[in-house]
Amino acid sequence: MLQVEHLSKNFGAVHALQDVNFTIQPGQIMGLIGQNGAGKTTTFHSILNFLHYAGQITWEDAPITESTFNSIGYLPEERSLMPKMTIEEQIVYLAQLKGCRGKEIRGQIDSWLERFEVKGKKSDKIKTLSKGNQQKVQLICTLIHQPKLIILDEPFSGLDPVNTDVLKRTIAEVKDQQAAIIFSSHDMTNVEEICDTLTMLKDGQVVLNGDLETVRDSFGKTEIYVKTAKTRAELAELPHVQAVEQQQANRYLLRLDDEAKGAEVFQAVTEGQYIEEFRQQPPTLDEIFRMKAGEKNE
């Protein structure tokens, strides 16, 4: 279990982190989100002991030290591969830094390249690979030593949807092996799909924290997605409907003033007839992110 308690960090007069707290259990993925400059990278660097900080960070009830690093996998947002190395040389070099034997790692490389569908041979130099394949090699370097604590900072950067799905499957497999994972992304759809819990930072402070569904539900199920032959004007006249957004032909998003009035709106829209879609839910994580990012700190 990773436990971060009262984490604070100042850079001169800048309060980069202020009393940050969260816990990640084995087999759990926590989404760490926030605007650029919110404190995400400072949090990662604190966990990795790259920085001096105030507060306490423990892994399996002990402070993180050099002896802990072999059980940690870190994928930074910026690519940190060595372009003149071959794929094999790069993977073996970084694995050896994590305490692995070169012979053992060399025997696994072909299966990892196949698993990640890397377009290239292990004898190819890093610089000859596309950005997407470099990203996949970097993720192999992050995971091949089978870490139990994994930090993934924008892991899908440069990947198309097909390759993104390949990596998502791998992340799910690692989660099933009881790794504790921190996942950071600006794409809230990916966060919503992958993560179990959520921590959002704003100006170095935690503004959201908890189970992902609980966080969403706390904003109220005030949105209804409906497909109907009624016009936008007709929907706007319904009781408790504050706003109507047309998304596609005959498909609308209704925003309610009271989630408890969903059944009443359902009756008004359907008039006792079958309709193809009526779905009441809380705001999406993307909408919540925009709301919280736009709020002024008190």
Last residue of a domain, one of 196, 217, 238: 217
- Are 250 and 206 in the same domain? no
* DSSP-assigned letters across all residues of 191-215: HHHH-SEEEEEETTEEEEEEEHHHH
Q: Do residues 82 and 204 share a domain?
A: yes
SS (H, E, C) 17-84: EEEEEEEECCCCEEEEECCCCCCHHHHHHHHCCCCCCEEEEEECCEECCHHHHHHEEEECCCCCCCCC
3-state helix, strand, coil split of the chain in percent (to 5) is 35, 30, 35
Shared domain check, 251 and 206 = no
Both 140 and 239 in one domain: the answer is no
Which structural domain, as residue segments, surrounds residue 259? Answer: 223-281
CATH code of the domain containing 25:
3.40.50.300
295 in any annotated domain: no
Locus of tokens 């359902």: 266
Q: Are residues 168 and 259 in the same domain?
A: no
| pLDDT > 70 fraction of the chain, expressed in percent and rounded | 99
DSSP-derived letter for residue 94 is: H
**Confidence at 296, pLDDT banded by 50, 70, 90:** low
Split at pLDDT 50, 70, 90, the class of 74 is very high
Structural tokens at position 30 = 């926590």
Q: What band does 79 get if pLDDT is binned at 50, 70 and 90?
A: confident
Mean residue pLDDT across the chain: 94
Q: Which amino acid is at 77?
A: E
Is the same domain home to 98 and 166? yes
Whether 141 and 234 map to the same domain: the answer is no
245-283 pLDDT, tens per residue? 999 999 999 999 999 999 999 999 999 999 999 999 999
In angstroms, the CA 55 to CA 21 distance is 9
Q: Region 6-21: what's the mean pLDDT?
A: 96
Please state the rounded mean pLDDT for residues 130-145. 93
pLDDT band for 178, please (50, 70, 90 cuts).
very high
Whether 234 and 190 map to the same domain: the answer is no
Residue 144 covered by a domain: yes
Sheet holding 251-256, edge to edge: 241-248, 251-256, 223-227, 277-281
3-class DSSP state for residue 153? strand
Q: What is the mean pLDDT of residues 140-153?
A: 95
